[in-house]
Structure 1
C-alpha cells in the first residue's frame, strides 16, 4: 500500500472509481466541471498494483460557529475498489487526511457518513439533524397579507447571499459559501426557480429555491430572516395550490411549522445528517468564542484521540471574562487536588459539545464525559448555546 497525494493526472482513475462505487454516470460537461473542482481539492489515494485502489478528497470550506468563520475540511468521495476492501486502507486515508488538515490549519472537519458507527471509530460524531416535511396543498399554512413583495425569477446572487449569510450565521455548522459554491452546487441542486421576499423598504428578507414538476412543489432551500418574510413566502407557495398536490422541504430541527398549522398532523421526520470532528484541539479552541464569564475560569480536559495524537492528553483551558480562551497541553501529573482534576472525554464528545449539538451536562448523564461536578458545571456555563444546521451536501 502506498499513500500519496493525487494529481490531475489521476482524475480519470478517480472518477472511474467514484462512478463505480456510488453508481452514477456523468455527462461530458459534468466530467469537465468535476475536473476543475478536482484541481482545487486535496485528493489523497492509495496506490496498489499500479492503480488508484482507494481515495478520498478534502474540500476546503469555511463554516460558521457562534458567528465566526472557521476553516473546515470537508471529507468526500471516500471509495475503494471492491477487490481492495477490508484491508484498512480507508483508515489509513483518514489518518493521512487528519494530518493534512492539521497542516493546513483546517481545525474542524465535516463528512456525510454512509455509516455513523464506522466514522465514529475515527473521531467524527453526529453534529446536526434536520426536519423533513411532506404535506398536501390543503395542509399548507394559511395565506396572509404582508406589507412586502415577492419577486420571482433570476435574482441577483448578491441579494441571495445577503439573506443567506445573515441566516447561516445564526447557526453552528452552516457553510460560509463562496460564489463558486453558489454557482456549482446551490443553483445546480436546489431548484431551477427562485423567489425573494422584499420588505416595504425593498430590502430582501427571505427567499425560496424550488421546482414545480408533476404537481409537486419541491423546496430546495427556504430562508427567512423574520416572521414577516416567513409568512410572505408561505403565501407565495400556497398561491400554487391549484397547480400542486404536494410540498416537501427541510428545516432546522427546532422548526415550529407544525405548531403554526391548523392541522399539525403532516408528514415529518427528524433526519440525522452530517458528522463533525475537531482536527486540532489547540487551534479550534483558541478561535472558539466562549460565553462571557463573571470571573476567569480554568478547566482541565483529558482528551482521547487515537487517530490524531497531537490532540491526545490533558489540556488546560482558561476562559477569560470576555469569553476568549487560551489552551495548552499539560502533563497528567501536573497539579494536585480537586480543582485540577480533568474532565475525561473523547474527541467525539468534545466535538459534539463545542459544535453545540449536545450540552456538557447531557453528555455527563450518559457517561460520555466524566469529571468533577464543579468542572462539568463550569464547562456547561462556558459553552454558548446555539443550534446546529446545515443546508448543503457534499
Structure 2
C-alpha cells in the first residue's frame, strides 16, 4: 500500500476528510490556521485512491514526562477513512507505517485518544490514565478557610510564564504528562478564562483554566502545587455563587480538594482517558529507570507484540543490570500493552495478575513489584 507524507496541496483534502469522518464543520476563517498548523507541527500520512485522499493519519511530535525525565513521544490523531474505503486495511497500514516512522525518529512512546479502546488495544496501545469528572451545585460552593495569597484573573492567547512554571512543576510529578511548547499553549489557553493563585511572596502556586456560559462554570484545568493554592483556587470558584448554578471540574482522580469540602459527597465519575504505546521496547527498557538492583534473583521478561514485530524480545534483569536474552521457557511473559500499563503506573503486577492479564508465580509477582517503581500517571491534554 502506497503511503505518502501529504504536502500542502493536499492539506485542504485532509481537513475535508476530518470534517466528514468526525462530523464537524471548519469555518473558512480557521482553514488557513489549520493548514499552517499541519505545515509547522504535524506529519500527515495519507493513502490516495483514484488520485484523491482516501485515508490519513496525523503524527504529532511531542515530548512527555516519565520518571522526571523527558521522552520523545509520537501523538497519533486525526485517523480517518472515507466509508467507501473502510475495511480495506488502510488504517492498519497507516498505524504500522507511523510506528516505523516513530521508531526511526527516536519516538520511543506513542499516545492517542481512542474512539474505541478495543480497536487500539488490538494494535498495541493501552489505557494509562483516568480523569475525575466532578459536578457541583451552587449549594456545594462553601469556602474552606482563608489564605494569605491572592488571585489574578486574566486572558491570553499566548504562553504565559506563570502558567508554564506551575504546569511544569505539577506535570513533572506524573507519568505521561505532555511537555507543552509555546505553540501548544496557544491551543490550551484559547478562549479560556485564567485565574492564577500567588502566595505572599508573589510566586505562582496554582491556576484554573475555565469557561463560563449559561450559568455554568466548566473548569478544564485545576492545578494546585500545595494546600494553600488549592484552598485559594476553590474559594475563588465559590465567589461565583451568585453567577452560576453548576460547576464541573476535570482533575486527577486523586485530587485532594474534594475530601476537604464541607460536603464531599458530590457527583463524581472516574473515566478512562488516554492510551499509550511502547514503540520501541528495546530503547524503552534501556532508558527506563528500573529497580533491578533490589532483585535477589534474576528475572527474565519476554515481551510479545503482535503488531510491531521488532518488539518481540526477551530481557534478563539482575542486580548488575539488564541485557537482551534469547527466548526460553523461564520467566514472565508480558504483552506490550501490559508492559506499558505497568511502567506508567496505571496498574501494578498484582492487579494484572488478578485480572488474568499476567500469568506469574507469587515469587515472580514479588520480583516485578520490586523491579517496576511506583508512579502516578496523568494526562490533561487532548489531540
Alignment TM class, shorter chain as reference: over 0.9
The C-alpha deviation readout for 1:176-214, integer Å capped at 9, x for no partner, is 11111001x2012xx521111111111100011112222
- Which of 345, 355, 364 is residue 366 of structure 1 equivalent to? 355
Q: Is the 8 A contact 2:295 2:370 kept in 1?
A: no
The Cα of 1:142 is off from its aligned counterpart by 2.1
The Cα of 1:295 is off from its aligned counterpart by 6.0
When residues 10 and 299 of structure 1 are mapped into structure 2, their CA distance, relative to the original with a 3 A threshold, is farther
When residues 282 and 141 of structure 1 are mapped into structure 2, their CA distance, relative to the original with a 3 A threshold, is farther
Are residue 389 (structure 1) and residue 341 (structure 2) matched? Answer: no
Q: Distance in 2 between matches of 1:85 and 1:369?
A: 34
Q: Is the 8 A contact 2:108 2:283 kept in 1?
A: yes
- Which of 353, 370, 375 is residue 342 of structure 2 equivalent to? 353
Gaps of 5+ in 2: none
The Cα of 1:300 is off from its aligned counterpart by 1.4
Structure 2 residue matching 1:369: 3-state secondary structure: coil
Q: Distance in 2 between matches of 1:17 and 1:258?
A: 42
CA RMSD of aligned residues (A): 1.8
The Cα of 1:238 is off from its aligned counterpart by 0.6
Q: Distance in 1 between matches of 2:363 and 2:21?
A: 49
Q: Is the 8 A contact 1:341 1:371 kept in 2?
A: no
1:101-116 alignment runs, 5 A limit: 101-116=102-117
Aligned equivalent of 2:290: 290
The C-alpha deviation readout for 1:142-194, integer Å capped at 9, x for no partner, is 242101111112477111100000001111111011111001x2012xx5211
- TM-score where L is the length of structure 1: 0.92
Q: Distance in 2 between matches of 1:349 and 1:247?
A: 36
Aligned equivalent of 2:366: 377
Q: Is the 8 A contact 2:292 2:318 kept in 1?
A: no
Q: Distance in 1 between matches of 2:85 and 2:294?
A: 56
When residues 217 and 84 of structure 1 are mapped into structure 2, their CA distance, relative to the original with a 3 A threshold, is same
- Which of 148, 160, 163 is residue 163 of structure 2 equivalent to? 160
The Cα of 1:7 is off from its aligned counterpart by 1.9
Are residue 181 (structure 1) and residue 152 (structure 2) matched? Answer: no
Q: Is the 8 A contact 2:146 2:232 kept in 1?
A: yes
Q: Is the 8 A contact 1:141 1:260 kept in 2?
A: no
Q: Distance in 1 between matches of 2:295 and 2:356?
A: 28
Q: Distance in 1 between matches of 2:302 and 2:169?
A: 36
1:274-289 alignment runs, 5 A limit: 274-289=274-289
The C-alpha deviation readout for 1:346-374, integer Å capped at 9, x for no partner, is 11111111111001121122231223433
Q: Distance in 1 between matches of 2:319 and 2:248?
A: 44
Range that drifts further, 43-52 or 288-297:
288-297
Aligned equivalent of 2:312: 312
Gaps of 5+ in 1: 334-339
Total equivalences in the alignment = 380
Q: Is the 8 A contact 1:216 1:247 kept in 2?
A: yes
